[in-house]
Amino acid sequence: MAPMGIRLSPLGMAVFCLLGLGVLYHLYSGFLAGRFAFFMLSEPAVGGPETPRGSAPAGAVDLRELLAVSVLAAVRGGEEVKRVREGNVLNAKAKGKTREGAEEQLTSGDLLSNRRMFYLLKGAFPAVQINSEERVDTADQETVSWDRSIPEDIKQKIQPKEVPAESVTVWIDPLDATQEYTEDLRQYVTTMVCVAVNGKPVIGVIHKPFSAYTAWAMVDGGSNVKARSSYNEKTPRIIVSRSHAGKVEQVARQTFGNKTVIIPAGGAGYKVLALLDVAEKNQEEADVYIHVTYIKKWDICAGNAVLRALGGHMTTLTGEEISYTGSDGNEGGLIASINMNHKALIEKLPDLEKTSHK
């Protein structure tokens, strides 16, 4: 009961209570907010994994780590390719025809290599889009883990670099030169992994299963391979697909002269290695790589990345850069070179662009 002579109005009581609540709010809000923030920073979310030290945060990809697992994937896929070939259990069959009407071959080597490479990469980087030449059968899923170790040569040459996961596309070629593989022309066979960021190839890995040679490079990073230093732009040695040698030879000799050397070969990976300083007894050397028809992006992405990292070029026959997003095919053929005047080469070979559509 209020003292004699003093009457408390309902409005006064309400104001008094509000003032009291305001004082309590200012006293405790800072304390509670601080405790909440401390709790969120010091404890992982319930049911969620704790982020390992040194790894990229959620939504980001460390390109150095992706390079390391790409090298491992190419080697592991290559082991399957070699095992199938040496066991002579190819189980080869036609999977369709190319635009030129040639039968495309599919072997157990393609499928087993693809499964090993795809699931290794997907397990290590589940948020990254992966495009592969062969279809992935989810019913035949394989658990392939990566221990997150990075080889010393990559550690020494490449610094960590994070990019958004949604900007990354990985292109896998589990067995390049399948036709030559069925013919036991082993020197042409490679397994390849390419990483593109926003459509630009930045990591390339080319592995030769039968000699255990691996070339890798990262744009603005480093590489374990070098470009050759001796070239002759007037009479270059041009490496081409075995089925395209006749198409290219006539135009090339008209352009550069009769001394121009045409080198027929299998496999896009092999042809890019021909432009580099590769210590391989079964590796031919060339100055320019030309392809005059439609070609799939998983065939050329890794080589494109390696050349870019070393200062070289791979473009369409008209000089346009090739984007590694969207469709899986490149319509404009290609011309690749390193330590040469790439623009001058394109200007010398204007007729090849027309040839690519025949």
The DSSP secondary structure of 182-210, one letter per residue, reads: HTT-GGG-EEEEEEEETTEEEEEEEEETT
Residue 136 CA to residue 236 CA, distance in Å, equals 41
Told to judge if 277 belongs to the known catalytic residues of this protein, a careful annotator would answer no
Q: What is the mean pLDDT of residues 272-278?
A: 96
Query: Quick one: pLDDT at residue 251?
Result: 82
CA 324 to chain centre: 9
Q: Report pLDDT digits (tens) over 222-245.
A: 999 999 877 777 788 999 999 888
Q: Which helix (H) or strand (E) holds 329?
A: strand 329-330
Over residues 60-72, the mean pLDDT reads 97
- Out of 110, 190, 287, 355, the active site residue is 110
Query: Please, what is the average pLDDT of the chain?
Result: 84
Query: Could you tell me the pLDDT band of residue 27, with boundaries at 50, 70 and 90?
Result: very low
Confidence of residue 138 (pLDDT cuts 50, 70, 90): low
Indicate the range of 33-42, 104-113, 248-257, 263-272 predicted with least confidence: 33-42
Q: Indicate the pairing of strand 288-291 with strand 237-241.
A: parallel
Q: Is 110 among the residues known to form the active site?
A: yes
Per the annotation, binding residues for Mg(2+) are 133, 173, 175-176, 299
Q: Give the tens place of pLDDT for each residue, 288-337.
A: 999 999 999 999 999 999 999 999 999 999 999 999 998 999 998 999 99
Decide if pLDDT at 1 tops 60. Answer: no
Average pLDDT over residues 110-128: 95
Which of 284, 277, 275, 340 has the alpha carbon at shortest distance from 303? 275
CATH classification code of 60-224: 3.30.540.10
Q: What are the extents of the domains in the chain?
A: 60-224, 227-348
Q: Is the pLDDT of residue 6 over 60?
A: no
329-330 and 295-296 beta bridge pairing: antiparallel
Judge whether 335 and 349 are in contact, CB under 8 Å: yes
Question: What is the second-level CATH architecture of the domain 227-348?
Answer: 3-Layer(aba) Sandwich (3.40)
CA dihedral 142, 147, 148, 153 (to 10 degrees): -110
